[in-house]
Every structure is written in structure tokens, then in C-alpha cells.
Amino acid sequence: MSTNSDADKTLELYETSSLFLEIWVRLKRNKRAIFGLFLVVFLILVALFANVIAPYDPVQIALKDSLKEPNLAHLMGTDVLGRDVFSRIVYGARASLIIGVVATSISLVIGVIIGAFSGYYGGWLDLLMMRITDIFSAFPFFLLAIAIMTFFGPNLLNIFFALGIVGWTNYARLVRGQVILVKESK
């Protein structure tokens, strides 16, 4: 019989393992997190293999098939223009993931740069950058994104830019706080 409790074994595992193993051990305890992980992996796989999964071209118009109910040929039916709804959803997952990843990456880069400079240099630069952050935070997220899209026009690159520009404020505040914390701990 072992004298170590489960907590001691877990502590030993943390001390001797890699960071990823520690994350996996913690993740396994949370059933909702596991479900979320599988859901995200499933959506990524659907997006990657959309051309294999989707039975029809998502933009091909077939007016003769307009507004058909779900059946074996069209699993979710068709829309007003006769396009297969299931195929459109599968290809939509690809577009949504691309927009989400690119827009978040743009927000992250902007927020990290502004937050790091603001926290590190402090003084008037910190004051100026945080007031700009406050101004961006004062506007509703989607209203500001729509205004930017109206100014630049509707295309995929502008969607990336608009969502990236309006989402950086939280990252900037977080990074600024962490930089100040590290700077003052020295």
C-alpha cells in the first residue's frame, strides 16, 4: 500500500513533468473544458476538410431547388436561391475560424505593443496611451467595427482590420498591468 496520497502524487507529477503535461492533468479534471476542447477540435477539422465534407458548392445557385425541405439529397434543405444549407454552414465554419484567428492576432499584437510600451515607460506616455485605450473602450465594439467597415468598404481584409482594431483594448490593459508588476518587483 502506498503512503503517498493522490495530492502528493499529483505534486510529484507537477515537479517532474513538462508544462504541457501539467496543463493536460488540470484539463482532464474539468469535464466542461474537455467538452469544449473536443468541440473546438471538431470545428477546426470541419473547417479544414470542408471541401470533402460539403456535398455541394456553397455558392452555386440552383433556382429549381429553391426552399426545399431537408431530405437525403440536402441534409438541411436549401435556401431561397437553391443553395445547399449544410454546405454553406460547413464552408462558413472555415470563414469564421479564419476571421476569428486573424482578427484576434491583430488585436493581440496591437494590445501587447501598446500595453508593453505604456507599462514600461510610464509617465506621460502611459497616460496618453491609456486615455486612447479608454476612448476605444467607450465605443460599443460592433458599432465601431461597422463604422470602420463603412469607411474602408466591405471585403475580407477590411473585416480582419476592423475587428482587430476594435478588440485590442483588453489586451493592452492586461499587458500594461503585468509589465508594471514585473517592473516594480525588481
Q: Cβ(164)–Cβ(149) under 8 Å?
A: no
Residue 12 in this model has a pLDDT that exceeds 90: no
The domain locations on the chain are 1-48, 49-185
Q: Cβ(40)–Cβ(97) under 8 Å?
A: no
Task: Tell me the three cell numbers of residue 32.
Answer: 466542461
Dump pLDDT digits (tens) for 91-147. Answer: 999 999 999 999 999 999 999 999 999 999 999 999 999 999 999 999 898 898 999
Q: Mean pLDDT of all residues in the chain?
A: 89
Dump pLDDT digits (tens) for 35-90. Answer: 999 999 999 999 999 999 999 999 999 999 999 999 999 999 999 999 999 999 99
pLDDT (0 to 100) of residue 8: 59
Q: How far is the C-alpha of 151 from the C-alpha of 125, rounded, in Å? A: 29
Dump pLDDT digits (tens) for 36-50. Answer: 999 999 999 999 999
Residue 186 in this model has a pLDDT that exceeds 90: no
CA angle 24, 41, 37 (to 5 degrees): 40
CA angle 17, 20, 24 (to 5 degrees): 95
Q: How confident is the model at residue 7 (pLDDT cuts 50, 70, 90)?
A: low
pLDDT (0 to 100) of residue 154: 86
Query: pTM of the prediction?
Result: 0.76
